[in-house]
């Protein structure tokens, strides 16, 4: 199991753990492993993360350096700026003309790009687009509503953070003296990172609070360098070897699957598919999960005979009084293999061995209202969406139109295979 889970972790984080970036044909190119850090970091509209230093950039979490004007032509060919001070990808779903555009900052100028093309009318004075934001910035990072109080951009200059509200076009300035001076910043998978030299520090975008042991060396997490790393050198897991243990989509549209001590967000594939320890988000669940489902802005994690309920909207805070036993919470006993709730429904369907049981979540106390046999046993996980139900068994899954067709079926449909697009595995 240890080898398997380490292999899975490397499968899902292979972007950050690829071949050493210094092994390039042109030795004159800069090496991201030299510890000099970056001038700016930003993803583009496709989710590819670019790391900038001087007149060069690195595309993604591995690979050699290239001239910035190969990806963003006008930066050097027309304006000959040579480098950027800061950069971020705009999050503004209310105004799609700006959403997902990349903004570069140099001295007192701002450049707006989309699909790697400079937008008409740029560059502009920073004050034209971002009134109240100073020039000669150190770093910038977007902060969507829900993670910040409103759709915002955090602009860093020294130890001052200028929080720019995209809607009101106002600025509030804070001083975070406890945070290192950020030379670049990145929002990645809903977490915020201040890069300083070869190190990074994770911080809360509203308070600036730093939780955990920081700084950490970026060469161990955001790239692959000799004598650095937080994983081993294992092969990418084949899709035929994937075995999902639990899967769910919460009310906010965040999709997760669980295997061993790890989980992975499936809805963030634009920014890469990456595995993390379950305890990173659900710290009380220390030994994997058997099943998981989402209901009423809460996520239920089941392990053995214990049910853990977390508030999804509060960064997965464990509800007071939990865990509780399966009998107390759901009125059932036995080893749960899978569980799912369909959209806009109040029934959780729980699979135990070769049976499926329906529990009314709106009732108090909760009791089984229906139990039926299934056409097969050995189910590992199940997920219900508007398109129907996928029941996972090993590296295959079965699709059903509804819980009724699953419960009433006596012959399993043709099995389908887990793919790279679904799970980031190797086909």
For 72-76, 343-347, 394-398, 416-420, which range has the lowest pLDDT when averaged over its residues? 72-76
Burial of 9 (0-12, 13-18, 19+ CB in 10 A): buried
Domains of the chain (ranges; CATH) run 40-220 (2.110.10.10), 239-422 (2.110.10.10)
The per-residue pLDDT for 10 is 39
For 33-47, 70-84, 160-174, 387-401, which range has the lowest pLDDT when averaged over its residues? 70-84
The distance from CA 409 to its chain's CA centroid, rounded to whole angstroms, is 36
The per-residue pLDDT for 76 is 59
Pairing of strands 317-318, 324-325: unpaired
Tokens of 409: 């079926």
Is residue 20 a known part of a binding site? no
Please name the residues in contact with 27: beta carbons below 8 A apart, sequence gap of 6 or more.
none
For 61-65, 213-217, 318-322, which range has the lowest pLDDT when averaged over its residues? 61-65
Q: Residue 421: pLDDT band by 50, 70, 90 thresholds?
A: confident
Neighbours of 53 (CB within 10 A): 22
Tokens of 196: 């300083």
d(CA 207, CA 202): 12
pLDDT digits (tens, 9 = 90+) for 19-49: 444 444 455 788 998 888 999 999 998 888 9
Name all contacts of 408-413 with Cβ < 8 Å and 24+ positions apart.
Answer: 408/372, 409/374, 409/375, 410/375, 411/375, 412/375, 412/376
Q: Three-state SS string across the chain, please?
A: CHHHHHHHHHHHCCCCCCCCCCCCCCCCCCCHHHCCCCCEEEECCCCCEEEEECCEEEECCCCCCEEHHHCCCHHHHCCCCCCCCEEEECCCCCCCCCCCCEEEEECCEEEEEECCEECCCCCEEHHHHCCCCCCCCCEEEEECECCECCCEEEEEECCEEEEEECCCCEEEEEECCCCCCCCEEEEECCEEEEEECCEEEEECCCCCCCCCCCCEEHHHCCCCCCCCCCCCCCCCCEHHHCCCCEEEECCCCCEEEEECCEEEECCCHHHCCCEEEHHHCCCCCCCCCCEEEEECCEEEEEECCEEEEEEHHHCCEECCCCCEEHHHHHCCCCCCCEEEECCCCCEEEEEECCEEEEEECCCCCCCEEEEEECCCCCCCEEEEECCEEEEEECCEEEEECCHHHHHHCCCCCCCEECCHHHHCCEC
CB-based contact 310:301 (threshold 8 Å):
yes
The per-residue pLDDT for 299 is 95
Tokens of 240: 């035929």
Check whether 241 has a pLDDT greater than 60: yes
d(CA 56, CA 68): 5
Q: Residue 271: pLDDT band by 50, 70, 90 thresholds?
A: low
pLDDT digits (tens, 9 = 90+) for 158-209: 999 999 999 999 999 999 999 999 999 999 888 899 999 999 999 999 999 9
Q: Residue 270: pLDDT band by 50, 70, 90 thresholds?
A: low
Percent of the chain with pLDDT over 70: 87
d(CA 4, CA 245): 13
Q: pTM of this prediction?
A: 0.67
Check whether 315 has a pLDDT greater than 90: no
For 13-27, 42-56, 216-230, 330-344, which range has the lowest pLDDT when averaged over its residues? 13-27
Neighbours of 340 (CB within 10 A): 29
d(CA 61, CA 219): 10
The per-residue pLDDT for 11 is 40
Is residue 99 a known part of a binding site? no
């Amino acid at each position: 199991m240890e080898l398997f889970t380490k292999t899975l972790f490397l499968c899902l984080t292979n972007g950050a753990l690829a071949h050493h970036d210094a092994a390039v044909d042109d030795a004159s190119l800069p090496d991201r492993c030299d510890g000099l850090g970056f001038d700016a970091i930003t993803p583009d509209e496709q989710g590819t993360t670019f790391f900038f230093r001087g007149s060069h950039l690195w595309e993604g979490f591995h690979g050699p350096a290239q001239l910035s004007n190969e990806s963003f032509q006008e930066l050097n060919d027309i304006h000959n700026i040579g480098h950027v001070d800061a950069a971020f990808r705009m999050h503004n779903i209310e105004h799609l003309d700006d959403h997902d555009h990349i903004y570069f900052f140099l001295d007192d100028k701002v450049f707006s790009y989309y699909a790697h093309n400079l937008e008409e009318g740029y560059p502009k004075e920073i004050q034209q687009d971002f009134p109240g934001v100073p020039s000669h910035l150190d770093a910038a990072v977007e902060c969507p509503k829900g993670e910040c109080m409103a759709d915002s951009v955090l602009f860093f200059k020294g130890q001052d953070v200028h929080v720019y509200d995209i809607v009101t076009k106002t600025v509030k300035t804070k001083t975070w003296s406890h945070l290192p001076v950020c030379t670049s910043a990145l929002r990645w998978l809903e977490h915020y990172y201040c890069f300083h030299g070869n190190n990074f520090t994770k911080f809360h975008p509203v308070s600036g609070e730093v939780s955990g042991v920081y700084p950490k060396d970026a060469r161990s997490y955001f790239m692959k360098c000799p004598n650095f790393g937080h994983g081993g050198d294992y092969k990418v897991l084949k899709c035929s070897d994937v075995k999902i243990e639990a899967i769910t989509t919460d009310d906010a549209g965040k999709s997760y699957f669980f295997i061993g001590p790890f989980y992975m967000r499936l809805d963030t594939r634009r920014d890469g598919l990456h595995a993390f320890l379950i305890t990173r988000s659900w710290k009380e669940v220390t030994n994997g999960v058997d099943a998981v489902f989402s209901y009423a802005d809460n996520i239920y994690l089941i392990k053995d005979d214990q049910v853990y309920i977390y508030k999804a909207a509060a960064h997965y805070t464990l509800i007071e009084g939990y865990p509780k036993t399966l009998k107390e919470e759901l009125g059932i006993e036995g080893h749960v293999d899978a569980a799912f709730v369909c959209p806009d429904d109040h029934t959780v369907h729980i699979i135990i061995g070769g049976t499926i049981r329906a529990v009314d979540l709106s009732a108090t106390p909760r009791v089984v209202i229906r139990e039926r046999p299934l056409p097969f046993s050995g189910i590992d996980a199940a997920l219900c969406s508007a398109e129907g139900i996928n029941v996972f068994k090993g590296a295959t899954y079965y699709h059903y139109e509804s819980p009724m067709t699953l419960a009433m079926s006596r012959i399993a449909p043709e099995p389908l295979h887990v793919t790279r697009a679904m799970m980031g595995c190797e086909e």
